[in-house]
Structure 1
Amino acid sequence: MNQKKQLSILEFSKLTGINRDNLRFYDRIGLLKPEIRGENGYRYYTRRQLGSAYLIGGLRLLGVGIEDIRRYSAGRTPEEMLSLFAEQEGHIQAEIARLRETSEIMRQYADMAREALRHGENEFTVAERKRERIFLCPPFPAARDEDEAEIGAYEYAGSHGINLGYPMGVMVTREALLSSNAPPVYQYYFKTGRRGNAWKPAGTYAVIYGRSESRDTLDIYRLLELIRAQGFEVNGNAYGEYLLDDLAVQYPAQYYGRVEILVKYG
């Protein structure tokens, strides 16, 4: 089969997927020099150099730096290859885990937005919820500044290796809901799935939707009144979450939330 022995930089670029600027850069640093330089200064590559080009492209795809590739290319051995690949496999698995976590966070926000669009302002409903894993932060006194408390929750979760992109919520215990002697104590949580340290239990929840610029002022007390009026009893904690926040809307006044309380029939 008659094959062309020389490849222009344009042809070599098309075959390897390495753009011409990068090929010129690889030439300057001695990583991949064209085998032939024409009298007119044009670069020409040979078929023998395709393997080296694909090697460089593959290593760059793995995230290997230029200097590391240059050292490896200058003295490659099976042992060096195995060592390099083992190191890069660890990086690849970590990146896969990061991408999966990012995908999970995006799915959560999308599900929450769809829920917000299905329910109107001040809508009351009763819903069955599955058990949900959450990362629960320590409680903070109601008298503490809300901004300070929320920042503290982010700091606490971050110090425990939690991805702070997960949606956040606020929990009020059943005991606090039923007590009239003191303002409730709040606990922030993150919807972390498998990485949680606590459970939001499965069961029947009374739910109310509405706008609020503050997670902990979502209408818990109005919901308690509706629960009693519907013949339910409080059977667990209250959970408040933004379904739409600054990721989805332009202004805080447009924030849209949900508060729900585990209940049972009286």
Structure 2
Amino acid sequence: MSQKKQLSILEFSRLTGITRDNLRFYDRIGLLKPEIRGKNGYRYYTRHQLGSAYLIGSLRLLGVGIEDIRRYSADRTPEEMLVLFAEQEMRIQAEIEKLHETSEIMKLYADMAREALCRGEGEILVEERKRERIFLCPSFPAARDEEEAEILAYEYAGSHGVNLGYPMGVMIPQKSLLSCTESFEYQYYLKAARRGNAWKPAGLYASIYGKSEFQDTQGIYLRLLDFIREQGMEVAGNAYGEYLLDDLAIQAPAQYYGRLEILVKYR
């Protein structure tokens, strides 16, 4: 069977996915010039140019600049190819990691939203939870208010390579929870398992659901503590608060929907 040895710009465009305008541009700058000029003045590409075209297209998708590609194309060697491929493999793996994180974040928010939609306002439950990896930020006692403390927590997490798109929560240590003071000590955390530095332990949690602001949680936790005692249980660990529905799904902050919970055990 005869093999076609030359391809028109239209055929080459269809095979490579590079638009004809871009092929003409690559021709003008000397990046990818058609190898054959026909008697009719038309320019044709050859089959062995397909590999170069696919490489250029792939590098452009990765954000490699035209000048960098042209310099490589003008003086390519096996050694240069290996260096280029090693560099791009690092970039590809970094992009894959970002996509995995984005997918993980979307799944977390979707799971939290589904949980919120299944719970009634003020509902209190005792629920078994699995161990969860979190990135726990230090407390910021010098912060002027909760808003500043939250910003400092984001800055701290970002400085440790944590994707700040992960949902945030607040942890109240057990000793603070039981101290009966007017205000609780607390630490922010992000639900970033990939960069986790602490664990939210598995076990039974007494959980209360509803619309609330974290700065107004003391009264809600006291109500939850009363429930725990009434059920013949006692506090066995830290308390955690998370917004299940926040500004990603709700327009008005007053309508944010949260879950507050305490690790418990039966007496």
Using structure 1 for the length normalisation, give the TM-score.
0.90
TM alignment of 1:1-266, pairs within 5 A: 1-36=1-36, 43-141=43-141, 144-212=144-212, 214-218=213-217, 219-266=220-267
- Please say which of residues 64-73 and 32-41 is displaced more in the overlay: 32-41
How much is the aligned-residue C-alpha RMSD, in angstroms? Answer: 2.2
C-alpha separation in 2, matches of 1:246 and 1:34? 53
- Whichever residue aligns with residue 17 of structure 1, its letter is G
Q: Where do 5+ consecutive residues of structure 2 fail to align?
A: none
- Please say which of residues 16-25 and 37-46 is displaced more in the overlay: 37-46
2:26 alignment partner, SS class: helix
Distance 1:183 1:23, change over 3 A: same
- Whichever residue aligns with residue 254 of structure 2, its letter is A
Q: Percent identity?
A: 78
C-alpha separation in 2, matches of 1:139 and 1:109? 25
C-alpha separation in 2, matches of 1:223 and 1:142? 29
Contact kept in structure 2, 1:216 and 1:240, CA below 8 Å: no
Distance 1:144 1:223, change over 3 A: farther
Contact kept in structure 1, 2:140 and 2:152, CA below 8 Å: no
Deviation of the 1:3 alpha carbon: 4.5
1:7 alignment partner, SS class: coil
Deviation of the 1:9 alpha carbon: 2.1
Deviation of the 1:246 alpha carbon: 0.5
Distance 1:123 1:25, change over 3 A: same
CA shift digits 1:48-99 (9 cap, x unpaired): 4333322322333454322122112112221111111112122122222222
C-alpha separation in 2, matches of 1:169 and 1:129? 16
Deviation of the 1:22 alpha carbon: 1.4
Deviation of the 1:231 alpha carbon: 1.9
Using structure 2 for the length normalisation, give the TM-score.
0.90
C-alpha separation in 2, matches of 1:44 and 1:194? 50
- Please say which of residues 79-88 and 235-244 is displaced more in the overlay: 79-88
Distance 1:30 1:134, change over 3 A: same
Deviation of the 1:253 alpha carbon: 2.1
